Every structure is written in C-alpha cells, then in structure tokens.
Amino acid sequence: MGNDEEMLSGAPTEDASTSKTDVVTLMPSVGDTVATEHPHKCQAIALIKPEYIVPERQRELNLSYVSKAVKAKLKKQNDNADQPPCKKIKGQNKARPHHQKADKSTKLCFKFLRGNCPYENCLYSHDIDKYIATKEPDIGDTCYLFEKYGRCRYGMTCRFSGHHLKQGRNITDKNVFTGSEDEPETNLLTKELQAKLWKKHYDFVKTKHPLERINSKEYLKYKNETADDSEKVKLRLEERKKIDFKGKLYLAPLTTVGNLPFRRICKELGADITCGEMAMATKLLQGQMSEWALLRRHASEDIFGVQLCGGHADVMARCALLLEEQCSVDFIDINMGCPIDLIYKKGAGSGLMNRTNKVNEIVFAMTEASNIPVTLKMRAAVQEDRNIAHKIIEDLKPWAKRISLFTVHGRSREQRYTKSANWTYIGECVRQAHPQIPLFGSGDVLSYEDYERNSCTYKVDGILLARGALIKPWLFTEIKEQRHWDISSSERFELLKKYTNYGLDHWGSDTEGVERTRRFLLEWLSFLYRYIPVGLLEVLPQKINDRPPSYRGRNELETLMASASCADWVRISEMLLGPVRDDFNFLPKHKANAYD
C-alpha cells in the first residue's frame, strides 16, 4: 500500500516464462475445497444462490504465470521421488518484472516523422521502409484517437493505423480536428524544468527561513501560536485556499492501479475527489520522468491531490514549493501509511508514525513553503494491537490551521489485510480530531450500506474508497443513488473498453503504449474478478473479505470475468487489445492466480 493498497509492483529482477502451454497438476489443499451444498455455516464465504454454484474441480498450475524461483522449486520436487507431493503455492510474488521498453533504434523518431529531427546522432530510427517491413499487424480497424480528435498523433506507428493512413500519409478529419491531438493533461515535466532539477539550478530560496526555524526549534512557537509574528502568520493561513472535503466521495491514492485512466473511470461514475499515486519526493526533485508521470492530472479531475512520500522536512518543503510553482494541484497528501520495508526503514511512509517530531517539522516546512492545503494519511498503527493514530492526531492538532484533513486506515502496518478494518478505533480518532480538523476513515467499504453505516455510526466527515473502488468502481454510483446496481457483464465490458481507450490516449496507441495499457488492465483485473454479481447473491451486500465457492455466471462473459486465473485475465485483455506478443510476460501479484 503506498496508500490503501499494498504495493503491486516490486523490483524488476525476476522473469516469468513466456510459455503458454506448460502446466503442473496439483491436488487442491484442504483449504481450497468448499462443499457444493449451500455453505450457510461457513464463515467468510459469500452466499451464492444454489443454482449458480458449480462443483469444485482439480486446479492446474500454469507455468506461464509463475516466477523462476517457483519453477526451480517445483522442478526439484518433481525430480526427487522421495519428496512429498507438491502443495499449492501461496503468498505473493515479491519481485515482479516491469514493462521493458523496446530498444530506441527499433522505434521511429517522431520528430523525423513530423518533418525535422534536429539531432545529428538521434537514437531513434529514421528508416521508414525498414520500420514498415518489421511492424506488427494492426490489432483493430478503429483508432480511438483518430475518432476522438480527428488526428492520431502516433501516425504510422499506431497499432490501428489502417484507420487513418492513406497512401502512407497520416490524414486529418477536418470535421473533428480542433487543433489538439490529445486530452488536456497537466503537470507535465518539461525539458527545461528537468534540466534545472538535474543541475540543481532550481530556486528553492523560499524554503530557507522555514528550515532555519526548524533547525533552531523556533518553529515550535508557531505550533503554539506564540511567535512574534503570529498575527501575520495567522492572517496568511486564514487566506490559504480551503477545500470543503466533508461528505465528498474520495478515491484513495492507489499505487500502480490508481493511474489516470482508472481515475477518469471513477470520476465518470461519481467520485468527487481524486489523488495521484504515491510519488517519492526525492525522485521528483531529481527530475525523474517516471515519477513525474504520477502527477499527471486530467481535465475532469476537478479536486485533485498529489500524495508525497518522504521522511525529511527539507525534501518535503522543496517538493511542496516545486508543486505550487510548476503544477496544478489542489492539495498535497503526506503519506504516513506505506508499509513497504524499504520505505519504512528510511523513516518514511508508515515509518513517520514513529517519528512525530519529524511529522511536525514536515507540516511546518511544507505549509511555510507553499500555500497548497496539506492533508495527512496514516494507519491505525504500525504494530498490531498497538494503536497510536489517536496520539499522533492529538500531537498535531495545534497545527489545525495548517492541516486540512486527516485520513485513517483502520489497520496496522503489520496487519495488512488479514483482519477487518477497525472502525471503532477510527471513531475514537474522529473524537480526537474534532472539531479542529476533519477526518476521513478507510477500510472494507464495498456497498452503500457499508458507507452509510460507517459514516453515521462513527461520525467521520467522509470515507476514502480504495479496494472497494478497484473491485467495483460503480460503487461511487451506488453510494450516490443509494442502491445495489446489478451491473451486467456487457456493461462491465464496456467499462473495460473505455479504460483501454483512455489507456491508449494516456500511454499511446503504438506497440509500447498498447502493452503498457495491457499491463495496467491486467493489474486492475486482479481486483475486478473479486466482484460477485448482485443477481447471484442470496444475501446482500457482498462483504469485501468474503470469498465465494466456485460459481458460474449468468452468461459466458460473466463467468469469465469471475475467474481467478491470470490466464483468463490475459484472454480478456486479448478481446480488447489483440493477441499478446510472443515475448509477453506478466507475473500476477498473488501466486494463487497462476492456477487455471
């Protein structure tokens, strides 16, 4: 969870096999089998109508979706007859391969295509004939970018180029084209800004005095409003832009899956507030393009925040100033919840919960350097059964004019998702924060009843939707309309089609953009399959931690969408983005999803 979800990606060190046919037959372990009779007495089992329940079957491990380490272990067991039978593989794939960019020499130079490449030693190809001879076939007849904008900016590199290439020329539909070839996105990293950051020529002088006050401990006077210029400070803080968070539907920052195309889907389905994926403050200051990509904002995101992760006041203050001067951001969220070991050990993420003095310094420095509202997102605790969020809130309350919102996820760092979120404790945090600072809760909301019950019972000012939004993004609609939406498989497929179109718009319709869109689609499908259609449930609503017995849908597509098999997710992606390439490589987060 850089945020409400655990990190979905690890260091790119392991590969999955590209074979699509190898399987290992394993008997299900005891915990895998659920009786086909109606499981009324089973805890944590979703109650499916009997006519949709199907017998459990022996599951097969598809070696295309396991890591090299698992393959080696299985081979060792199979080679040794004295070894006990293979058990079902469990746990997470910690080191998953990232999308590998193609060699630049195999990609056409866009500047050359547009008429003039100023680089004498350009790393990209200028050989159009060679590119056309080796280009992969189109994957569809209709280019979304050409239909929407009247011109496709990817020209002959587009994987739908047959729609807009006539006699080798990229045509323009003058009835549609308005001068822009893409959706308006802001917060782009320009080459000029990147060069300043690389050479450390960016002017951060505004952060000098706040950091000096922190070093001298003078900043503590501002916490208690006893500094000589407190009236001046109070006046400036009163003039700071304010956001009315209360009662708004907030899509939590979600690492990997909370990308811009997904946020667009959620905005259309009713989300009021969106926040970008967790960004590392140090990497933003270094001008890393991949980190700046996490700050991109779509025009539809009317209340948009950026979540920063860092453990030091100087870095966070400079980053806040940089965002104010260079980006369009409504609020900055300080990440105090990320459980990843590497971040935690550096004192950032959930590590900040043990360093409240540092949190005080960060809040002061950021709010002195920038006028962007600041929010804090934390967990209930670091260690299980040792809740400390209420103590942190009590310590930070004197900064009420500088902190716009607290959000508390009702789980500890150690606990992750092994138990239900502790909403009773979130209610205690609300009482500690009120009335000075509003507080949002987070955890286990998958229906409008969950939302209403937690809102009314625990008096939170609002709720962040995280896993619930990933499993069923139409949850925003259900909450606003106070109903259960028995969404059909065809309607869900249309959402996936819209997502892929938004992905092609955002990441590109060339081969690299298509494969990047596919990868993020597969990450999302690893959550979407957990949704159980309303019409199949005997008892409403579905609970987020309940798992169903094996069941079939009301049609073939609904059954396919319910599959926990990574191979079936790939099949869905092929229905939208064409066949996977020969070198296709995707390793699911959970090892259990490698079973067919």
Asked if 456 is an active-site residue, the reply is no
Burial of 121 (0-12, 13-18, 19+ CB in 10 A): exposed
Q: Of 297, 273, 301, 263, give the one whose Cα is nearest residue 473.
A: 263
Q: Give the max Cα distance, the chain.
A: 80
Sheet strands (E) in 163-314: 165-166, 169-170, 185-186, 250-251, 274-275, 279-280, 297-298, 304-309
Q: Active-site residue among 152, 158, 275, 338?
A: 338
Q: Of 446, 363, 364, give the one whose Cα is nearest residue 406.
A: 363
Task: Give the span between the Cα atoms of 410 and 426, in whole angstroms.
Answer: 6
Angle at the Cα of 24 from the Cα atoms of 93 and 518, rounded to 5 degrees: 45
Name the strand (E) or helix (H) holding 458.
Answer: helix 448-458
Task: Give the span between the Cα atoms of 283 and 310, in whole angstroms.
Answer: 10
Kind of pairing between the strands at 185-186 and 297-298: antiparallel
Q: Of 95, 41, 104, 34, give the one whose Cα is nearest residue 66.
A: 95
**Amino acid, single-letter form, for residue 94:** K
Task: Give the span between the Cα atoms of 198 and 201, in whole angstroms.
Answer: 8
**Could you tell me how many residues make up the chain?**
596
Measured CA to CA in angstroms, residue 114 lies from 108, 117, 126, 151, 168 at distances of 11, 8, 11, 13, 14
Q: Give the dihedral sign, CA 180/181/187/192.
A: negative
Task: Give the span between the Cα atoms of 591 and 589, in whole angstroms.
Answer: 7
Q: What is the 3-state secondary structure (H, E, C) of 158-194?
A: CCCHHHCEECCEECCCCCCCCCCCCCCEECCCCHHHH
Task: Give the span between the Cα atoms of 374 and 313, in whole angstroms.
Answer: 14
Kind of pairing between the strands at 374-381 and 331-336: parallel
3-class DSSP state of 198: helix
All residues at 6 or more sequence positions from 13 whose CB lies less than 8 Å from its CB, including other chains:
95, 97
User: Catalytic residue positions?
Assistant: 338
